[in-house]
Amino acid sequence: MDRSEETVRCRDVSGRLREIRLSYGSDFVSPGSVLSQQLVKANEQLYVRKFVSKSDGGRHPRLYRLLDNEVRAGTRLAQVFADRYPAELARLVAYNMDTDEPFVLLRAYLGDPAAAAVKRFDDAERRQFQIGVLRALHLTGVAGVVHGAVSLDAVRWSEGQVQLVDFESAERAGEPRADASTAPVRSPEQIAGEGVADVRDDLWAAGGLIRALYSAAPQDRSRDPERLRVLLGDVFDNPLEHRPHAADLLQKLHAPVSSPPVTNPDDALREGRSLFDRISADRRRTPGRPSTISAAPRPKSALLMLAVLAVVVCVITGLVVLL
């Protein structure tokens, strides 16, 4: 890339427009990512920029979907955890999907990919790593996000701290399962592509990751150490509806199960949606049919609609500098 600095427009995790001055750095490689990446600076802070170039997008349109998954997961996590965002999860800061080269900006990741470090782990570090991975999945579960590609490639390690990154295969819990083709380990339901995404899908992949720490044979659990069978038996031996959650495995490890205070992003929209539904229902009424809604006179309803729209427009068009 020949440019070294550029002012770009993007949206923060709340959807507000911002202007950011970026200084472009070196290419960046994260083994769990398919997308192009580079390091950038803004306001003296280091970020990871993931993007789809026009040429790459033309050859591989699927890349746009992977970037969109990163945005959807990142905005959900940021809105749920707000200013108490957990260090165990990669943090989306801004994005722009309406440009020839769509991109996302994430805070610089912790440490290094875990694959090399785990080979040197002692028993205490293995336990710490297991707890870190399960805690990360507990947090994504709280937010209703399914990572979709949990593996050593998507986990970072920094002096005892785990961070889960690369949400390119992510889905929202309750959505129809998509083809998570980038995931090296998938649950039977993911492989079949049946039903809806469930936060416990990630536990299947995490179980495989934890077994790999002990060099367990991928297809043969009969020789697993007893502690692994106790910890993971319910993950692999049960249908989805009877599988444990990450919090259950943390309890088996006698590790704390906690999460920061969360907010439900849907709550902020509920009143506006309710108002919209009332107005829409009022307008759809058949003449002569009594309404089941005690609506205000139509002029007031119209004014309320205009007021809601005005607030939305003000929010999404405000242009400020990223702090």
pLDDT of 151 over the 90 cut? yes
> What is the amino acid identity at position 91?
R
CA 87, distance to chain mean position in Å, is 13
Confidence of residue 289 (pLDDT cuts 50, 70, 90): very low
pLDDT value, residue 322: 37
Spans of all domains in the chain: 5-107, 112-252, 268-317
Identical fold at 5-107 and 112-252?
no
Tokens standing for residue 150: 């949990």
Residue 48's nearest CA partner among 56, 58, 39 is: 39
Q: Which CATH class is domain 112-252?
A: mainly alpha
pLDDT tens profile 242-267: 999 999 999 999 999 987 878 877 76
Tokens standing for residue 167: 């949400």
Tokens standing for residue 134: 């399960």
CATH topology of domain 5-107: Phosphorylase Kinase; domain 1 (3.30.200)
pLDDT of 319 over the 80 cut? no
- CA atoms of 49 and 107, how far apart (whole Å): 9
